[in-house]
Chain A
Amino acid sequence: MQTDTIIQIENVHKHFGKVHALRGIDLNVGRGEVIVIIGPSGSGKSTLLRCINRLEEFDQGSIVVDGIPLDSAENINAVRTEVGMVFQQFNLFPHLSVLDNITLAQRIIRKRDKKEAHEIAMELLHKVGIPDKADCYPLQLSGGQQQRVAIARALAMNPKIMLFDEPTSALDPEMIQEVLDVMLALAKEGMTMVVVSHEMGFARAAADRAILMDDGLIVEQATPNVLFSQPKEERTKAFLSKVLS
């Protein structure tokens, strides 16, 4: 798995004013690998994720996604079409129906015609289990349904990598599982995924690797079972004791 690297992150630094948010991150993600990043708030895990598709600029270091270095405007757009992103707040387009949310980028970026985009959208809505909501508007849906539409919207671009930024943190407890089920199915299909989430159950079931970040650095990484049950670092132990209790 490590032989075929799809994301290469080398010595990435990021400052927000005086705050040194990322302090030299090195991380390689293999094709088809599922990585879960955990860590306290402010540890830089969301920032790292947002650097991968350049929603956040970094000050130093390099990130190469599927052979494309993130340095020029064209390259950034090229990478963004290969990388799907799912946000904590869903960020669906409220003025468009569910179907139009999923077809918009297909039509203007992938240049698919209306019929083809429509068919792909319906297929994906079946996949995430809500084909009957195609004509609804986002704000008529529950949070869990909205997040599933957001996943379908990202998948419609046929990304090679999916980034999830705390996808279940804004959801009511009873809706978390329906979103995790979709993500689990995606992981089983071999999608490369980088997930910022504290859903330990999901991490154990789907992730190849779990990473603990703190204070802008990767503190420890291992398979989820090892990291959660036998952490080596004191900081990992302290964090896990708070999350698991």
Chain B
Amino acid sequence: MQKTPELEETPKRENGFHKKFKDIDQWWLLVAIVVLLIILLVTTKPDPYNRILKFVGDGIWVTLYTTLISFALVLVLGLFGGLGRTSHNKIIRGIASVYVEVVRGVPLLVQLIIWYFAFPAMVKDLGHAWNIQAFIDYKANPIVMAILGMTVCYAAYMSEVYRAGIESIPKGQMEAARSLGMTYFQAMGHVILPQAIRVILPPIGNEFVTLLKDSSLVSVVAVADLTRRGREFMAANFIPIQTWMMVALLYLVMTLVAARVVKWLEKHSRYER
């Protein structure tokens, strides 16, 4: 594109510091403010804020690792869903579509309850019916069921994200790859997905942030995550304002950092044009 003459006459003076500051994503400032606020609260008023932080601390890790493990599984399972949704094979496409439509239509909270309460009961019933002792003794692990529930649910959403990404790549790309002799999977892996991932990085990041927040729902199925630990602290001490302010700030730090990381990834994955 041609530059307008006015722009060329007034070159912007960008010396070292100014330019470096502009290169930094300025939303990190908000992250810093929230972190500072937490530090300020904990140091100036250790009672109750430091007590809250110590009590819910292990819940932060539970929230983080259930979210991260689920999300890693969601990325894989969602890819299969997305490939299924874009498949030319009617049966594969049908299975993938039914999965997506059914799972998307049931609230995550209900799905988590099904996985933790209804699913083990079903296994037990089957155990009695078929006389299998292992099934009768089956006891659901809350963390495993929570991760399973979140994964199955979010993989359905992610399938649609992948589908949109794959469909956004012009048909000619697949044709060019296939005409060079690549198989469908080689073409997907080397040509289509590397381009599609760049397109869908923002919605993928969005899914991650949403999953991080929705992970608070696992608190109802006996997982001691940040939210559940907050509720336990409140039940014991009954200082709801301080407790939930602290819990909210902790969630905020995590989601804001995640959003910044996604932004950074997006910036560094663009290809030159």
Q: Which residues of A contact B (CB under 8 A)?
A: 53, 55, 77, 80-81, 83-85, 87, 89, 91-95, 104-105, 108-109, 137, 139-140, 150, 153-154, 157
For B181, give its contact among A89, A139, A157 (CB under 8 Å).
Answer: A157
User: B186: which A residues are within 8 A, CB to CB?
Assistant: 108-109
Docked-complex contact A91 and B173, CB < 8 angstroms: yes
CB distance from A70 to the nearest CB of B (A): 13
Q: Is the CB of B182 within 8 A of A109?
A: yes
B180 near A154 with CB under 8 A, answer yes
State the CA gap A139–B198 with chains docked (Å).
16
**How far, in whole Å, are A168 and B272 apart by their CA atoms in the complex?**
25
B179 A108 Cβ-Cβ under 8 A: no
Asked if residues A81 and B176 are in contact (CB atoms below 8 Å), the reply is: no
B271 at the binding interface (Cβ < 8 Å)? yes
Of the candidates B175, B194, B271, the one whose C-beta lies within 8 Å of that of A87 is: B175
Q: Give the residue of A53, A91, A137 whose beta carbon is less than 8 angstroms from that of B271.
A: A137
Q: Considering the chains assembled together, what is the distance between the CA atoms of A150 and B273 in angstroms?
A: 17
Q: Which residues of the other chain, B, contact A84 by a CB distance below 8 angstroms? A: 179-180
Q: What residues of chain A lie closer than 8 Å to B172, measured between beta carbons?
A: 87, 89, 91
Q: Least Cβ distance of A172 to chain B in Å?
A: 16
Please, which residues of chain B bring their CB within 8 A of the CB of A137?
Answer: 271-273
The contact of A93 among B173, B178, B179, B181, by CB within 8 Å, is B173
Quick one: CB contact mask for B170-197 with A, threshold 8 Å, 1 for yes? 1011011111111100100011001100
Query: Contact at A108–B273, with CB atoms within 8 Å?
Result: no
A139 to B273, CA, bound (A): 5
Can you show 7 pairs from A to B with CB atoms below 8 A apart?
Answer: A93-B177, A94-B195, A95-B195, A95-B271, A108-B186, A109-B180, A154-B180
- A105 contacts B181, C-beta separation under 8 Å: yes
> Is B180 touching A157 in the complex (CB atoms < 8 A)?
yes
Query: A105 contacts which of B175, B180, B194, B272 (Cβ < 8 Å)?
Result: B180
Question: How distant is the Cα of A140 from the Cα of B170 in the complex, in angstroms?
Answer: 18
B172, B176, B271, B272, most chain A CB atoms within 10 A: B176
CA–CA, A125 and B142, complex, Å: 60
Closest 6 CB pairs of A and B: A81-B181, A91-B176, A105-B180, A91-B172, A139-B273, A85-B179
Q: Which B residues are CB-close (under 8 A) to A92?
A: 176
**Minimum distance in angstroms from B22 CB to a CB of chain A:** 25
A150 CA to B183 CA in the complex, in Å?
Answer: 19
Residue of B nearest to A79 (CB): B181
CA gap between A80 and B181 in the complex, in Å: 5
- Asked whether A109 lies within 8 Å of B176 as measured between CB atoms, the reply is no
A55 touches which of B178, B182, B191, B272 (Cβ 8 Å): B178
How many Å from the CB of A76 to the closest CB on chain B? 9
What's the nearest-Cβ distance from chain B to residue A48, in Å?
15
| A-contact bits for B150-173, CB 8 A (1 contact / 0 none) | 000000000000000000001011
Known contacts A87-B176, A140-B272; can you find 17 more A-B pairs with CB under 8 A? A55-B179, A80-B179, A80-B180, A81-B180, A85-B176, A87-B172, A89-B170, A89-B172, A91-B173, A92-B176, A93-B191, A94-B271, A95-B194, A104-B191, A105-B181, A108-B182, A109-B182
Q: Which residues of chain B have C-beta atoms less than 8 A from A154's C-beta?
A: 179-180
